[in-house]
Amino acid sequence: MSDLTSFTIATRGSKLALWQANRTRELLLAARPEQPVTLLTVESSGDADQKSDLSRFGRTGIFTAEVDNALLSGRARIGVHSLKDMTTSLPEGLVLAGVLARGPIEDVLVSREGKHLAELPAGARVATGSVRRIAMLKRKRPDLEVVGMRGNVDTRLAKLARGEADAMLMARAGLVRLGFDKHITEVLALDDFLPAVGQGIVGLVCRTDDPEAQKRLAGITDEDSYCAALAERALLAGLHGGCNAPVGAQARCRENALTLRACVLSLDGRECIEEAFVGTSDEAVRIGQELAKRLVARGAKRLIDAARAAG
């Protein structure tokens, strides 16, 4: 597994996915310039089908399975994912070996006429393909019309410009990383729009039987972001929620202190169960699991099951 002629990263072909893969490549080359690093681009089922609602695909891993398969088949050594797209349990034989430094975590509003969320008139059409964002939007502005919209970042911006909606909810990190932050009308408050699990984090995956890849990924990993990733993913696993469940979470890891906030909503936004837990960074997984238990005890599973049934 130490062939210096081939150290391949598997990635989706969207501009954002390629940014993530190329950033990973840059860090690997900076740490070890003598080791060539190449990219293998694959098409995910989520990219191939741009029309279906995310909640109606009927299986998890729609944006990650093909990248993971490239690792398991030996065509690549590393898989690069948006962490929020990853399943809570990885396929057998793969491990989350590291993450890049977390980017901005907030949701943002992109508005055709420059109006903030509070300024949009009743009945205005706001686009998103995320169940979480739909629930949070309905909680904040139940008088707005939700419009389903999917596609890569530039595709969605083009659809908005064509008038397919009046405004759109997006992740701030993707816009910033692609240099599209000029399109941001408003950065939404975390108290109203708690981000998706793993939002803004790039996940680095390799095979469990590839210690060299694991070592190299550990060498470029941001430790605070990795701590946050472990806590948030343990939370989601404990809730038995998928990557498109109506769940928001934010973990903050600083100087061995970890604070984890989370909320679970009903699809109509009328119910919202919120909890927080504080501990140490080395307890990241346990904290996520414990917070999930507290949320379940307050009825979170009922809300998640209802959202899954509706999808």
Q: Other CB atoms closer than 10 Å to residue 169's CB: what's the count? A: 25
CA distance 139 to 309: 20
CATH for 164: 3.40.190.10
194 lies in some domain: no
Q: Domain range spanning residue 95?
A: 1-101+199-221
Chain-centre distance of CA 297, in angstroms?
A: 26
Strand 167-171 to 125-127 pairing: parallel
* 213-249 residue pLDDT tens: 999 999 999 999 999 999 999 999 999 877 668 999 9
Same domain, 95 and 5: yes
Question: Helices 300-310 and 223-239: crossing angle, nearest 10°?
Answer: 80
* HEC assignment per residue over 134-175: HHHHHHHCCCCEEECCCCCHHHHHHHHHCCCCCEEEEEHHHH
3 lies in some domain: yes
Same domain, 40 and 179: no
Same domain, 95 and 1: yes
pLDDT band at residue 60 using 50, 70 and 90 as cut-offs: low
Same domain, 143 and 253: no
CA distance 63 to 47: 7
Indicate whether 49 pLDDT > 50. no
Indicate whether 48 pLDDT > 50. no
Same domain, 216 and 255: no
25 lies in some domain: yes
192 lies in some domain: no
- Residues above pLDDT 90, as percent of the chain: 83
Indicate whether 176 pLDDT > 90. yes
CATH for 233: 3.30.160.40
Domains: count for the chain: 3
Q: In the sheet that 94-99 helps form, which strands lie side by side, from edge to edge?
A: 38-42, 8-12, 78-82, 202-207, 94-99
Q: Active site includes 85?
A: yes
CA distance 12 to 191: 32
If 0-12 CB within 10 Å is exposed, 13-18 middle and 19+ buried, where does residue 234 land?
A: buried
Indicate whether 1 pLDDT > 50. no
304 lies in some domain: yes
Same domain, 31 and 117: no
Of 85, 107, 210, 224, the catalytic one is 85
pLDDT band at residue 53 using 50, 70 and 90 as cut-offs: low
- Tell me the pTM: 0.91
The predicted pLDDT at position 54 comes to: 47
Same domain, 176 and 228: no
Helix then strand then coil, % of the chain, to nearest 5: 40, 25, 40
193 lies in some domain: no
The predicted pLDDT at position 157 comes to: 94
Same domain, 176 and 209: no
Same domain, 93 and 137: no
* Contact present, 224 and 256 (Cβ < 8 Å): no
